[in-house]
Amino acid sequence: MKFREKTTIQSADVDMRGVLRPTALLAKLEDVGGHQMIAFPPSNDDLRERGLAFITSRMVIQIRKELRENMEVDMETWATDSRGLSFNRCYRMLHDGEVAADVYSSWALLNFEEHTLVRVHDFGEVGGEQYPPLTLDIPLRVRMPAAEEYTEVAKRKIYYSDVDLNGHLNNTKYLNMLCDFVPGIENKSLRGINISYVAEAPLGEELTVLCKADGDTYYFKTVRSDGKINCEAVLYF
């Protein structure tokens, strides 16, 4: 079944314009996903005891309404169309019955003891019954610019405050990090994100942040010190 919870936007969740930060938005929704897995085991803790953990592959986020401090919102999540190596999940956030944000996400289930990925048909559904996926205006797949079209905009080290239980840059933290490198971000309204997580960024790593602007669309690529791509993302304003 679809799983639902309520939450309130707190002062620490908003930026200098008073608008919910993308990292806080995604963190709240992912918490709902975790709570659904507790209600419909296995939970993330159950998986960890079995030597398994979900890692994020892709997040596609459409922001339909800006949320502000003290707003009460309804959140819901459900598993959807999972196959192959992709365990897919949707999230939705609503305010006064109006959709504020929709998210389509893909996850891989890692056996971290064997360093292999688990297929959906070998493991089964996670998070209860599957429902149809959301339809977004943000494309699920994006053709990224050629390497020579990017410009280096920053070096970004991964600090203790960035990492999660796995010792890697938490998937929600990428969103605020990338927004930091959009010129004039304090005067822009984010309407969508498509981010692909390619390789982990561990504690102490220094990422090279590359960007290409095309009007109100910003293409990002982050590269690890070993030359491997860490993430690719598109931010729509």
Tokens 């293409």 map to which residue?
219
Q: Which parts of the chain register pLDDT below 50?
A: none
What are the chain's domains? 1-141 (3.10.129.10), 142-237 (3.10.129.10)
Q: In the prediction, which pLDDT does 126 show? A: 87
Nearest to 33 by CA among 171, 101, 127: 127
Q: In the prediction, which pLDDT does 190 show? A: 97
Rounded to whole angstroms, the Cα distance separating 89 from 54 reads 12
Q: In the prediction, which pLDDT does 129 show? A: 87
Taking the CB of residue 5, how many other CB atoms lie within 10 A of it?
A: 15
Report helix, strand and coil shares of the chain as percent, to nearest 5.
20, 45, 35
Rounded to whole angstroms, the Cα distance separating 201 from 231 reads 9
Rounded to whole angstroms, the Cα distance separating 3 from 79 reads 10
| DSSP state string for 36-85 | HHHHSSPPHHHHHHTTEEEEEEEEEEEE-S--BTT-EEEEEEEEEEEETT
Q: In the prediction, which pLDDT does 125 show? A: 79
| Dihedrals phi, psi of 27, to nearest 5 degrees | -60, -40
For residue 24, the SS3 value is helix
